[in-house]
């Protein structure tokens, strides 16, 4: 596994800061799951702070707990991993920013539905900083620009600590999504590059960091009361 770069977190209204980790090279999926499991256990034991891990994967498909076999259209195309996160099939690969979000929901309201909405708020605030207006779609999870989906969410919660997280299409090969029915939807996919946004991962990471402070950072935030 590529060694993540540890970044000092800005001060929050919390007893312990959120630690931000960044992996510069694509991380194999099995290694990421192993690392998340270890970090969640450490958070539960009080040995590690809450953590946001920014990374990319090599090209692969993951099957969430609601994935239907017929939604895997081209099985030999990329490796397929069954995973315990919510949702259906999705694609991960270079050019897509993943943020694995390991947060203690016991300190943040114990409301998974509100947490998912807060993750959507985080993604929309991030896009706004990059000059893109993202929005929700009724009955769907994730963030859209017009009719096209640009960001997905799939989380798991263990003893009220979240893991897995969100993906934002920066400049992936969108044709790679053709091997699945992404998230069970027939909606088109888009990316920042496809929208003509001139950016890079460093700028995207900065926007994610800044938007996190606005939407998810302070424990005093009222998102846990969202409907």
Q: Which residues are catalytic?
A: 183
**Paired residues of 63 in beta bridges:** 82, 89
Helices 201-215/112-129 angle, 10° precision: 130
Contact 37, 45 (CB under 8 A): no
Range 25-47 burial, b when 16+ CB lie within 10 A, else e: ebbebeebbebbeebbeebeeee
Closest CA to 171 of 186, 190, 146: 190
């Amino acid at each position: 596994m590529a060694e993540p770069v540890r970044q000092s977190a800005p001060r929050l209204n919390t007893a312990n800061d959120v630690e931000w980790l960044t992996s510069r090279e694509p991380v194999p999926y099995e290694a990421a799951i192993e690392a998340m499991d270890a970090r969640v256990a450490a958070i539960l034991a009080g040995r590690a702070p809450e953590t946001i891990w920014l990374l990319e994967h090599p090209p692969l498909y993951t099957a969430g707990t609601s994935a239907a076999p017929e939604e895997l259209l081209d099985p030999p195309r990329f490796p397929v991993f069954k995973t315990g996160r919510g949702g259906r099939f999705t694609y991960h690969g270079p050019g897509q920013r993943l943020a694995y979000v390991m947060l203690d929901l016991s300190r943040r309201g114990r409301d998974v539905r509100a947490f998912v909405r807060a993750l959507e708020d985080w993604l929309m605030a991030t896009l706004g900083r990059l000059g893109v207006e993202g929005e929700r779609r009724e009955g769907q999870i994730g963030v859209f620009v017009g009719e096209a989906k640009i960001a997905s969410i799939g989380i798991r919660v263990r003893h009220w600590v979240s893991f897995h997280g969100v993906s934002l299409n920066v400049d992936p090969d969108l044709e790679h999504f053709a091997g699945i029915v992404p998230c069970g939807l027939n909606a088109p996919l888009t990316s920042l590059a496809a929208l003509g946004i001139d950016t890079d991962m460093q700028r995207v990471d900065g926007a994610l960091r800044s938007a996190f402070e606005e939407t998810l950072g302070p424990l005093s935030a009222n998102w846990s009361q969202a409907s």
